[in-house]
A and B are shown apart, each in its own frame.
Chain A
Amino acid sequence: DADVTQTPRNRITKTGKRIMLECSQTKGHDRMYWYRQDPGLGLRLIYYSFDVKDINKGEISDGYSVSRQAQAKFSLSLESAIPNQTALYFCATSDSAGPGRTDTQYFGPGTRLTVL
C-alpha cells in the first residue's frame, strides 16, 4: 500500500463549486504539505502544517484553505473554484527536522483538477 495517498486522483468541476482534496499518510510523519504544479513548471507550495495544531501559508495560498484533522490527514479546499486553479495537486509529508533525520519529503501520486 502507498504511504501517501490522495483522493480523488482526477476531478472535473465547474466554476464556483466547492472542492475538497484529501491526503492521508501512513508514515507517521508530523509535517504535511500541499503543492500545485502547472504544465511545464515546478511545484509551488500552497500550505503546510508541522503538526495538528499548526497551519502555515505557502507561496500561493489565496483561494485555498486547509484542515489538518489528524496527524495522518491533511485536506485542501477550494471554496469557490475558478479555471486558473486547474492544475496538478500534490500532497507531501516529512518527518521533523533534527539530529539524524533527513527531513526527506515523500509525495503522493497527485490529483489532477480541472475547473471548467
Chain B
Amino acid sequence: DAKTTQPNSMESNEEEPVHLPCNHSTISGTDYIHWYRQLPSQGPEYVIHGLTSNVNNRMASLAIAEDRKSSTLILHRATLRDAAVYYCILRGNQGGKLIFGQGTELSVKP
C-alpha cells in the first residue's frame, strides 16, 4: 500500500479556514484518497474521498493536485468541534482495509 505523509500537528483559530496537507508521492493510478478523522474518545469517522477531481461535501472539501502526489483537506470554517486527528489514507479501487498513519492532530483555538 502506498504511504502518506502528514504534519504531526496543526493549529487553527475558530471560524477560520484550515488546510490540512497530505503527500502521497507513490500513489498509483487506481488509488483513492480518503480522509477520516477521530474526535477525542471516539472511533474514526469518514470525512471525504476523491480520485482525481476536487470534491466537496457538507463536512469539507478535498483539493487534489494535478499529478495526484499531494492533496489538501479544507475545512472552510473551523469550529471547536473540528478538533481531532485527521488521517489521509490511500485505498485501492477494491476498497477493503484502511492503513492508518499517524495523522495530523488539529487543535482549534477560540
Binding site for B on A (CB under 8 A): 4, 31, 33, 35, 41-45, 48, 50, 58-59, 90, 92, 94, 96-97, 101-110
Q: Are B96 and A109 in contact (CB under 8 A)?
A: no
- Contact partner of A107 (CB less than 8 A), chosen from B45, B96, B101, is B45
Binding site for A on B (CB under 8 A): 36, 42-46, 49, 85, 87, 91, 93-103
- Contact partner of B96 (CB less than 8 A), chosen from A35, A101, A103, is A103
What residues on A are CB-neighbors of B87 within 8 Å?
42
What residues on A are CB-neighbors of B94 within 8 Å?
97
- Contact partner of B98 (CB less than 8 A), chosen from A4, A101, A105, A108, is A105
**What distance in Å separates the Cβ of B94 from its nearest Cβ neighbour in chain A?**
5
In the bound complex, CA of A43 to CA of B46 (Å): 14
Q: Are B43 and A110 in contact (CB under 8 A)?
A: yes
**What distance in Å separates the Cβ of A95 from its nearest Cβ neighbour in chain B?**
8
In the bound complex, CA of A59 to CA of B1 (Å): 12
Q: Are A41 and B102 in contact (CB under 8 A)?
A: yes
